[in-house]
Amino acid sequence: MINNDRGQTLINKYVWVIETIYRAKKISFKELNKRWLSDREISRGVELSKRTFANWCYAIWDMFKISIVNENRGEYRYYIENVEDLRSKGIRSWLFKTFCVSNTLANSQSIKDRILLEYVPSGQDYLKPIIDAMKENRVLSITYHSYWNDEENDCKVQPYCVKLFKQRWYMVAKPDYDEKQLRIYSLDRILKLQTTDETFKMPKDWSAEDYFKDSYGIIVDTGIKPQVVKLKVNAGQANYIRDLRLHESQEEIECNEEYSIFRYWLRPQFDFIQELLWNGGDVEVLEPKELREEIAERIETMWNIYKED
């Protein structure tokens, strides 16, 4: 038999199967094989046998926890049984989408000079040891460089969770110098990291999702209470905000040809304010009054910088 694995990883093929079935919703093996052969970059012109496909379905379950099943009637089509998991915000969905993009790029070497990517800081270097430490509840010893005070600090931390936000990875951890409060560490600002033999007890009632629930991004300032925020967004920008929600609590409570009004329940912290300013005149804060006034003050400060010209 011709070996068509050269230059292709099995993961690429698993992703191709998942993506093809996901897009088709339901598909017979005959049609799946037809599409497989038509994609010569991945199939190398070799048919997909039912035995190989069955083995891949088991592997896909082991790797992604995606269940591919047969309807066992009619055309005996295959479909993804737990398709809702791919549409959620969980790690399973994120892995699938990441692998889909990676697979597409890997099979696009012939046009690589026409695909432009965004630079992501190298914080991923420490992602694996941090996650490994989280699995065993091990204390980490780190050297951290803070942008705020421009100095390096050595400390030991208990890693609680990691979060990806705006192309950067962050770690939520409890430092040895302040055991009452969690701190946020950007992975690209960690200069050294070592896993220690010390262990810690993870609080049973602590949830990463709950911790960030009322925050826009990575900042969690418990001194700022969650509250209702209303934004008036012009019709053009509203389309973008509908597709890429600013926050999970987002509700569109009014819509017309000129603008939409969105309501949120969150803490209006620094990173949320920065996001509002980034949108410029396309977004107006209606509530709360304090946030509206703070945005106005920042705009006035910016105007004072430029008005001399």
How far, CA to CA in Å, does 271 sit from each of 96, 192, 246?
28, 27, 11
Of the candidates 100, 68, 72, 96, the residue with the CA atom closest to the CA atom of residue 82: 68
Quickly list H helices, the chain. Answer: 10-24, 29-38, 40-43, 50-64, 84-87, 91-106, 127-136, 208-212, 235-243, 270-278, 289-306
Of the candidates 106, 202, 113, 216, the residue with the CA atom closest to the CA atom of residue 166: 216
| The pLDDT value given to residue 92 | 67
pTM > 0.85: yes or no: no
CATH top class, domain 122-209 = mainly beta
> Each residue of 51-71: pLDDT tens digit?
999 999 999 888 888 899 999
Domain 227-306 CATH assignment equals 1.10.3470: no
Range with lowest mean pLDDT among 100-104, 186-190, 202-206 = 100-104
| The pLDDT value given to residue 111 | 76
Q: Is the pLDDT of residue 1 over 50?
A: no
Of the candidates 43, 47, 80, the residue with the CA atom closest to the CA atom of residue 61: 80
> Each residue of 115-160: pLDDT tens digit?
777 776 656 778 889 999 999 999 999 999 987 777 888 999 999 9
**Two domains, one topology: 122-209 and 227-306:** no
What DSSP string runs through 109-142? GGGGGG-------GGGGGHHHHHHHHHHTEEEEE
Domain ranges in the chain? 10-109, 122-209, 227-306
Q: Is the pLDDT of residue 198 over 80?
A: yes
Q: Cβ distance 123 to 166 under 8 Å?
A: no
Q: Is the pLDDT of residue 80 over 60?
A: yes
Compare 45 and 111 and report the one with higher pLDDT: 45
Which pLDDT band holds residue 88 (cuts at 50, 70, 90)? low
Q: Is the pLDDT of residue 29 over 90?
A: yes
> Each residue of 205-250: pLDDT tens digit?
999 999 999 999 999 998 899 999 999 999 999 999 998 899 999 9
Range with lowest mean pLDDT among 18-27, 67-76, 114-123, 157-166 = 114-123
Q: Cβ distance 77 to 65 under 8 Å?
A: no
Q: Is the pLDDT of residue 96 over 80?
A: no
| The pLDDT value given to residue 63 | 81
| The pLDDT value given to residue 99 | 72
| The pLDDT value given to residue 180 | 82
